[in-house]
């Protein structure tokens, strides 16, 4: 069973101490703060036949079946492929499960993640089950971006914001997870992960610092006119688009912040600090505002899995970036 993280202990005590449980929970918060671990523990607790001290016992038949992945009263729904939407046929299968009688005579539990992966048809197919689940059924929805959910979905759930770790908790957990890394590297990983320690651990495993170094080197060559936008875009084929757009959005914001405040503390990580400051001093503010708007618009398309031509998208981004220095 996944651990309950230290920053979740108070919420877990509240959830496990409830005399009666809601028919649907929406656990929401940024990615990488442990929502899935919390949900998995809640699933096990709700299905356990003899929970002990606020946790699933791990020994009863229900716990053993759940651990083996064969519990007949548990239904897990995720996209069939990473980054793909949850199809309406998948939700209809879930609805069929909900109306069945529990085979072990206790609760039925559904776990759906991420809830924002449902398209309009999928979400509408789920509404009746959320409103009137059959028997003693609990649906647990996990969302990293609750603003993308239909209001009708959110209104039918008990919405539970999941706690985020503070900086000290994040650093301590990450230090234990990857003890070979020095403190400076841990802090850099947490900045790249937006403060989420689990995301920082995942990015570390994916080689995010090496990816970042490649991107920073490419941006510097682009601004020195040592490489063309199309050539640089092609060399980034293996890099995740959401990560690239996150970084460029951060850099654009850093440029604007410095133009407005001249505060060097807002220039970001050391690897791009001088570049951001240079662009802030050499770029017309209307051009920076225009590229920021473009970045935010296309980042949303990337997050929404829009059918975009990757090479053309990156080439357009880099051509605008290269044109920032100079008159408006």
Kindly report, residue by residue over 62-103, the tens digit of the pLDDT: 999 999 999 999 999 999 988 788 999 999 999 999 999 999
Overall average pLDDT of the 229-245 stretch: 94
* pLDDT value of residue 127: 92
* pLDDT value of residue 53: 86
* pLDDT value of residue 220: 97
* pLDDT value of residue 1: 59
Q: Is residue 191 part of a domain?
A: no
Domain boundary, last residue among 116, 142, 161: 161
Q: Is residue 170 part of a domain?
A: no
Same domain, 10 and 117: yes
Mean pLDDT score of the chain: 93
Token pair belonging to 137:
């059924």
The pTM of the whole model exceeds 0.85: no
* pLDDT value of residue 307: 84
Mean pLDDT is lowest, of 57-61, 117-121, 131-135, 160-164, for 131-135
Between helix 197-205 and helix 183-192 the angle, nearest 10°, is 100
186-208, pLDDT tens digit by residue? Answer: 999 999 998 899 999 999 999 99
Overall average pLDDT of the 208-235 stretch: 96
Same domain, 40 and 135: yes
Same domain, 142 and 265: no
- pLDDT of residue 219 exceeding 70, the answer is yes
* pLDDT value of residue 266: 87
7-42, pLDDT tens digit by residue? Answer: 999 999 999 999 899 999 999 999 899 999 999 999
Q: Is residue 34 part of a domain?
A: yes
> Which residues, other chains included, contact 279 with Cβ-Cβ below 8 Å and sequence gap of 6+?
223, 251, 255, 288, 324, 325
Q: Is residue 272 part of a domain?
A: yes
Same domain, 10 and 145: yes
- Express as a percent the part of the chain with pLDDT over 70: 99
Overall average pLDDT of the 204-218 stretch: 95
Residue 143 dihedral angles phi and psi, to the nearest 5°: -135, 130
Q: Is residue 70 part of a domain?
A: yes
* pLDDT value of residue 303: 81
Same domain, 131 and 23: yes
Domain boundary, last residue among 161, 189, 212: 161
115-133, pLDDT tens digit by residue? Answer: 999 989 999 999 988 887 7
Same domain, 154 and 286: no
Same domain, 28 and 151: yes
Q: Is residue 247 part of a domain?
A: yes
Q: Is residue 174 part of a domain?
A: no
- Express as a percent the part of the chain with pLDDT over 90: 85
Distance CA 101, CA 58 (A): 24
Give the domain CATH number at 48: 3.40.50.300
Binning pLDDT at 50, 70 and 90, where does residue 327 land? confident
> Which residues, other chains included, contact 217 with Cβ-Cβ below 8 Å and sequence gap of 6+?
none
Domain boundary, last residue among 161, 176, 199: 161
Same domain, 24 and 149: yes
Number of C-alpha atoms within 13 angstroms, CB side, residue 227?
18
Token pair belonging to 299:
């980042």
- pLDDT of residue 134 exceeding 80, the answer is no
Same domain, 35 and 139: yes
Q: Which residue range is the domain that position 65 belongs to?
A: 6-161
> Which residues, other chains included, contact 185 with Cβ-Cβ below 8 Å and sequence gap of 6+?
209
Q: Is residue 15 part of a domain?
A: yes
> Which residues, other chains included, contact 315 with Cβ-Cβ below 8 Å and sequence gap of 6+?
229, 230, 233
Same domain, 149 and 56: yes
Q: Where are the alpha helices (DSSP H) in the chain?
A: 9-16, 35-47, 61-68, 88-98, 120-131, 151-155, 167-177, 183-192, 197-205, 208-223, 229-235, 241-261, 270-282, 285-303, 310-322
* pLDDT value of residue 328: 63
Total domains present in the chain = 2
Distance CA 276, CA 243 (A): 18
36, burial (CB in 10 Å: exposed 0-12, middle 13-18, buried 19+): middle
* pLDDT value of residue 144: 93
Same domain, 134 and 247: no
């Amino acid at each position: 069973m996944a651990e309950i993280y230290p920053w979740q202990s108070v919420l877990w005590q509240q959830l496990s101490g409830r005399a009666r449980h809601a028919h649907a929970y929406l656990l929401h918060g940024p990615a990488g703060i442990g929502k899935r671990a919390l949900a998995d523990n809640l699933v096990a607790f709700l299905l356990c036949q003899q929970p002990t001290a606020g946790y699933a016992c791990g020994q009863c038949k229900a716990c053993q079946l759940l651990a083996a992945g064969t519990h007949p009263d548990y239904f897990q729904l995720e996209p069939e492929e990473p980054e793909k939407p949850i199809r309406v046929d998948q939700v209809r299968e879930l609805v069929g499960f909900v109306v069945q009688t529990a085979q072990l005579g206790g609760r039925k539990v559904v776990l759906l993640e991420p809830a924002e992966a449902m398209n309009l048809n999928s979400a509408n197919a789920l509404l009746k089950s959320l409103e009137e689940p059959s028997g003693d059924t609990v649906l647990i929805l996990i969302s990293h971006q609750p603003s993308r959910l239909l209001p009708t979905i959110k209104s039918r759930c008990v919405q539970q914001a999941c706690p985020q770790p503070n900086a000290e908790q994040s650093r301590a957990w990450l230090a234990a997870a990857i003890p070979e890394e020095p403190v400076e590297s841990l802090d850099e990983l947490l900045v790249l992960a937006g403060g989420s320690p689990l995301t920082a651990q995942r990015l570390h495993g994916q080689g995010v610092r090496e990816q970042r170094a490649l991107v920073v080197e490419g941006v510097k060559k682009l601004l020195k006119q040592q490489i063309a936008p199309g050539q640089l875009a092609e060399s980034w084929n293996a890099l995740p688009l959401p990560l690239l757009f996150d970084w460029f959005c951060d850099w654009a914001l850093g440029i604007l912040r410095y133009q407005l405040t001249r505060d060097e503390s807002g220039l970001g990580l050391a690897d791009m600090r001088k570049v951001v400051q240079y662009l802030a001093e050499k770029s017309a503010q209307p051009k920076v505002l225009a590229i920021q708007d473009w970045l935010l618009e296309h980042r949303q398309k990337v997050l929404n899995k829009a059918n975009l031509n990757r090479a053309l998208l990156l080439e357009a981004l880099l051509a605008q970036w290269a044109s920032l220095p100079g008159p408006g």
